[in-house]
Structure 1
Amino acid sequence: MRSLSLSNLLRHHKHTAFGHDDSHLPRQVIEVAIDDSEDTHELPARKRRGRAQSTAGTIKGVIRRASLSLKGMVHVHRRPSVTAEPSDLNQQLPNGRPTSAHHTWNRLRHAAPFRRSRSVYGLNGTEDGLYEQQQLDHQMPIPAMGDEPPYIPMNTGAAAKASVALQNEYYNRQAMHTQWLQSASEDSNDRESGIGIVVTEPFMESGVSDDGSMLGQDSNISRIDFIKELPSELAIHVLAYLDAAALAKASVVSRHWNEVVRNQHIWRESCLREMTTTYATSEPVQPGAGLGIPEIAPSKNWRQIYRAKAELAQKWKEGKACPMYLNGHTDSIYCLQFDEYKIVSGSRDKTIRIWDMQTLECRLVIGPPEVVNAPNVLEDAEGNPTHYVNLSDSYKAAPSKPQVASFAEHHKASILCLQYDDEIMVTGSSDSTCIVYDVRNGYRPIRRLTHHTAAVLDLAFDDKHIVTCSKDISICVWDRATGALLRQLRGHTGPVNAVQMRGNTIVSCSGDFRVKLWNIDTGRNIREFVGHTKGLACSQFSEDGRYVASAGNDKVIRIWDANTGECVREMRAHDNLVRSLHIDSVSGRLISGSYDTDIKVWDMETGRQLLYFPRWHASWVLSAKSDYRRIVSTGQDPKILIMDFGADVENIEMLKSANTGIGGIRL
């Protein structure tokens, strides 16, 4: 019965989460609400008039009219389903009264309000589909439903504008920030209209209008837009502590916040903080060092740089690399080094070739006169360029006809190892010698280093020393400036296949299964790593010197603690001899290449295999190195493989450092 429904309605408000209590109501009100069991809509007109006269002007009459108004509100707040036909909205009740939207609105204007609850539309849905009116201090907010007029606050025009702005703000943000939305619980779900989405509490309490003012907040709590109140310099400094995801959210808080977030200083500081951390270096990545962070300049768009860095990281994570093959060498390519602008390769064909990383053209061929002047070095029998790029099995691009150079000092056998910096390049050969070249003078030879009695298998240098190792089981330390032999290190009992430097320490590995550390100043063997069961082919220092990686014919990669000699990680990596290792100390990735023709990428921290590129070479992989964007490798087949993870990344070229050229070659 309606009187029972009204009673339940009152009792429901007594036990709601908002702590309503009916103790403040006069007992007569409660009794009338419970005892009035008659439905006044079904009484004859004369009886209704009589009852009205008998109760007019009395306290009981006032209470009865309030009770009737509350009963009417139960009918008024029942909302039709969203699938109802428009004609259903104007149907009549059994007593003949229309249920039009405007009639409902007029009745609700005089209904006694209940206390506000939190809901998107200002109404609280109950299990039986009723919508209870919410209480305000001086007005009753009822949003527009169907043809009902919208709720306009009865105060100033600014308040009305704020109310409309809040509604617009909600719909605009609903599409952009799905994380601010959640499915309604069963208790608050509007089963009749089908609405099942509500805004979470933080959003309702922190809504911001277009002009930055706070809406929908508790008037007793003082809130200040600190970004708007702070001086611009301080606001920028504060926001610079956010990462990209947080900055994206902050940019939609208000127009003022959006304008502040656009400042390039914020994006630069955020990018440098979030994107320059490293795994094993002595300091964060320095801008302009060629490691994926460009030099700092006013013209840089750091928001786009940040986005490109994030997208490139995702490409690495997914292993999405674009392969390209550089053709030109005529025999196995034993060694290479590369940067953002060039690749330098050394081959069994006795030549050194320098390639432009941007155009993928071969720019220079250095070798003996009888080789570089041979007819098949630059063109095939039909006169076509022999230097070109394979982007697929059937497509050739970037044909080039490089310059050739032959000097009095040249290698007479295979080029087995090389290294360059901005000033010099050093190559080692099967002819047992090394040659030092002047990079800035067109790679013209400066001097030859002669002391080894067998093939020079590997070399490394810094700003003071050049270190070489040989098949003659020795290591030689040379003065970089003069080429003088400083000392010869002996201790291995097999060919020394790899050598590298960090500070005043040398790491070497040999066919005698041993990895050794040497002091470059004294020549003493300071530590030895034991664990491999077959001859070793490669060893590498991390940038900060904390770790050493080694591998060889036992097909296992081991990571050693350089300070203690402990093996901290072991990866059973390949199905054949591991010929090449490269540690990317910035990202913590370890690149391995093997005689099984595979290239793999490992996580230095966990030893987990990250990426696997099977048979991207036609034969043995002899050298594989990487930077922030690419893996470049060579093998027994005379091709250079470039795996470019940044090929499809928008604005990837913004990550490059300043162009250092390719060594005095006119482009």
Structure 2
Amino acid sequence: MPTTCVSLVLLDFLTELPPELSLQILSQLDAESLTRAALVSRDWHGFTLDPLLWRQAFLQHNGWSSSSPTHRLSTWDDMMAGIRPWRTMYQQRHRLEKRWTANGPKTVHYLNGHSDSVYCLQFNDDLLVTGSRDRTVKFWDLRDDYRCTRTLAGHEGSVLCLKYDARHLVTGSSDFSVMVWDMDQPPEADPPPQGPVMQLRSHIAGVLDVAMSDQTIVSCSKDCTIKLWNRANGDLLRSIPAHRRPVNAIQISGHQMVSASGDGLVNLWDVETGNYIRSFEGHLSGLACVQFKDNRILSGSNDKTIKMWDPRTSECVSTLTGHQDLVRTLHYAGGQRLVSGSYDQTVKIWDLAANKCNLSLDNGHSSWVFDVQCDLTRLISAGQDQKILVWEFAPDLDDTLLVA
């Protein structure tokens, strides 16, 4: 019987298809799969270098871009104009995100200038503002060697809280007052800046937190009240007997605000009317801090936990445990990252999607942490030890390539 010889021909479907179809197929892969595909052959490696594939991979990550939710690319030719180095962007952002986990920060800067505990801070790309028990507010240049460029003195007690935007800086103090300062004054003006443009007085105890909307300034106090002020002229609009214990923190989101109190409650309010909406109950002790953003309310307590709430239903969605003392401060900038500071002297970085602590910064402060904030590449903390710490996670990365 004659022998039949069968010849097998293996076809590489990516190289046989039109390039547009091959790229559409590869666009279904995530970054890890693209990296593995690049090892198949030289041709596949060439395909996986296509910038639009890496654009797709970059935009698939929740929180990596301010763009709307990603969609599958449909017409590759339509995307060819203005292509950015997406593969490099992905690699740099991936390195940055790793540093927010077990690898930690690359450099830490210590800012010295206050002569007592630093209670509060806020920063943006260029400017850090801090308030202290030494009764002063200091401005720091984050672009030029972290210099202190301006000091405001006016309060007769500790500066316990502050908020600023392009128009105003608002500070609250243990002297029972709220002061409004002009942010348009150049940091190194000659003559030097005068005092506050407004002083708001109605509280009968220390002012523990402040917040702002376009028209309104909100303050809360150890006197258990929340007060709403006309931002244009400083008139007191209303005073709300908000809690049974000191109101330690407030935050505005849209037309609503939340307050957190030593009575263990988070309360939700209508900013325009001052009307009470609902309460959030579940902490076992008093509250020190609260955040309200992206339909999430987050609260920190003396029970050593952080809770996340649904503002529409009052349901406790999750509870984060790990701190060993009062959770004094929280900052949530969006996405899945939350940072917290505690009287246990640590700053922790949390993954809200996984409900876990990704990183604990244990060696920065030698006493209670009073305030902490973060952005994409930096975390800044302040505490009872007079220290202001700037934790830099991307000093060697190109920040223009980190966001789409």
TM-score (norm 1): 0.52
Cα contact 1:252–1:258 (8 A) shared by 2: no
Matches within 5 A, 1:292-311: 301-311=85-95
Residue 338 to residue 319, structure 1, CA distance change in 2 (3 Å): farther
Aligned equivalent of 1:612, options 344, 360, 364: 360
Tell me the equivalent position of 1:472: 223
Local SS of the residue matching 1:441: coil
- Structure with higher Rg: it is 1
Cα contact 2:351–2:357 (8 A) shared by 1: yes
For the residues of structure 1 that align with 2:325 and 2:46, how far apart are their CA atoms? 61
Residues 460-481 of structure 1 deviation map (CA, whole Å, 9 limit, x = unaligned): 1122321110111110112223
Tell me the equivalent position of 1:435: 179
Matches within 5 A, 1:228-627: 244=31, 253=43, 261-262=50-51, 266=52, 269-270=55-56, 273-275=59-61, 277-278=62-63, 285-286=66-67, 301-322=85-106, 323-368=108-153, 410-442=154-186, 445-541=196-292, 543-544=293-294, 546-586=295-335, 588-627=336-375
Residue 493 to residue 207, structure 1, CA distance change in 2 (3 Å): closer
For the residues of structure 2 that align with 1:114 and 1:554, how far apart are their CA atoms? 78
Residues 442-491 of structure 1 deviation map (CA, whole Å, 9 limit, x = unaligned): 26543222222221110111223211101111101122233222211113
For the residues of structure 1 that align with 2:90 and 2:320, how far apart are their CA atoms? 34
Residue 345 to residue 267, structure 1, CA distance change in 2 (3 Å): farther
**1:655 and 2:402 are equivalent in the alignment:** yes
Indicate the structure with greater helix content.
Answer: 1
Shift of 1:537: 1.1
Unaligned runs of 5+ in 2: 69-80, 188-192
Shift of 1:551: 2.0
In structure 2, give the amino acid aligned to 1:563. Answer: R
Tell me the equivalent position of 1:96: none
Shift of 1:589: 2.0
Question: Aligned pairs, how many?
Answer: 381
For the residues of structure 1 that align with 2:403 and 2:308, how far apart are their CA atoms? 31
Tell me the equivalent position of 1:163: none
For the residues of structure 2 that align with 1:364 and 1:656, how far apart are their CA atoms? 29
In structure 1, give the amino acid aligned to 2:287. Answer: L
Local SS of the residue matching 2:95: helix
TM-score (norm 2): 0.83
Shift of 1:603: 2.5
Shift of 1:492: 0.7
Cα contact 1:304–1:651 (8 A) shared by 2: no
Residue 339 to residue 236, structure 1, CA distance change in 2 (3 Å): farther
For the residues of structure 2 that align with 1:255 and 1:511, how far apart are their CA atoms? 59
Tell me the equivalent position of 1:382: none
Cα contact 1:583–1:591 (8 A) shared by 2: yes
Shift of 1:255: 10
Residue 522 to residue 603, structure 1, CA distance change in 2 (3 Å): same
Indicate the structure with greater strand content.
Answer: 2
Cα contact 2:265–2:287 (8 A) shared by 1: yes
Cα contact 2:23–2:47 (8 A) shared by 1: no
For the residues of structure 1 that align with 2:237 and 2:28, how far apart are their CA atoms? 51
The root-mean-square deviation of aligned C-alpha atoms, in Å, is: 3.2
For the residues of structure 1 that align with 2:83 and 2:158, how far apart are their CA atoms? 46
Shift of 1:651: 2.5
In structure 1, give the amino acid aligned to 2:317. Answer: V
Residues 476-512 of structure 1 deviation map (CA, whole Å, 9 limit, x = unaligned): 1122233222211113111111000111111101112
Local SS of the residue matching 1:367: strand
In structure 1, give the amino acid aligned to 2:7. Answer: R
Cα contact 1:593–1:621 (8 A) shared by 2: yes
Residue 475 to residue 647, structure 1, CA distance change in 2 (3 Å): same
